Amino acid sequence: MIVLDEESWSENLLKNGSPKPYAISKDVSILAKYWRYKGLETHDIRLKLEEYCYKSDPYFNDANSYWKIRNALRDSKNYRLRRAFPIVVTRAEVDVIKQFKSYDYQKVLFVLLVTGKFLKYSNTKIKPTNKTRIINDFFVKESMSEAVRNARVSMRIKERKDMFNNFYNAGVFDVGHYYRTLKVKFVDEDSEPEIVVTDFDNIVLSWCRYCGERIAACSKCGKLFLQRTNMQQKCRHCWKDERKEKVRLAVMKNYYKDKGMINGQRT
């Protein structure tokens, strides 16, 4: 999976920890770039990575898994932290997406288009490369299954193959020269802007909102979410955090109340 907004991803890792019972090497590399972006030196980054790895995995040891930290430090010296910036989808590109009647096809195509544009304009490599970059080429290094998963669409293998065959026959997509690379071929930035994507945790919601679904922006963090009721003003993560805080305050209130009653009885 490609992480587009690595800054938000790092902050979520530091807040909630690793989603797995071990430190994922990709997450360790992103954290190294995040702390490098914050101005920390290599020695301090190494200490923080060790702390994160031991916290995520109680069985972490230098002999078997220190390569994660070593590779992460190397990546932080060669690549900058990838940060979010607005991506504009033009009217001509929207018209190409709408020519496919299947709503699932539209969502997959939209996500791949936005991802291809983002990766094109977010060159994070620190040292200049000798390879020439073609201006009008937009690539997404993902497999078909990952592209469908990012679009929040459920498809069988045969359905995925049929979908990408339709994309190929329509001339909107092609297979890149590198392994698991897709080439977006319907980018038209000379047309008028139609959609501006700013939330990259769930790109497909921008298309769902454009198509008329009840998508709202969280009143706390600004992330898009599927609004099921008019009273729902926060995304699932912010709602859980708010609920935990309310429970904590209620527990502390009852604790001091009971403590005061006990002290009053003793006196």
- Quote the pLDDT of residue 179: 62
- Quote the pLDDT of residue 254: 81
Closest by alpha carbon to 93, among 14, 185, 2, 187?
187
- Domain residue spans in the chain? 6-78, 87-198
- Quote the pLDDT of residue 249: 85
CATH number attached to the domain at 87-198: 1.10.10
- Quote the pLDDT of residue 28: 95
- Quote the pLDDT of residue 264: 60
| Local mean pLDDT, 10-residue blocks, the chain (267 residues) | 89 90 93 96 95 90 87 94 94 95 94 92 80 69 83 90 91 76 89 93 92 89 85 84 86 75 59
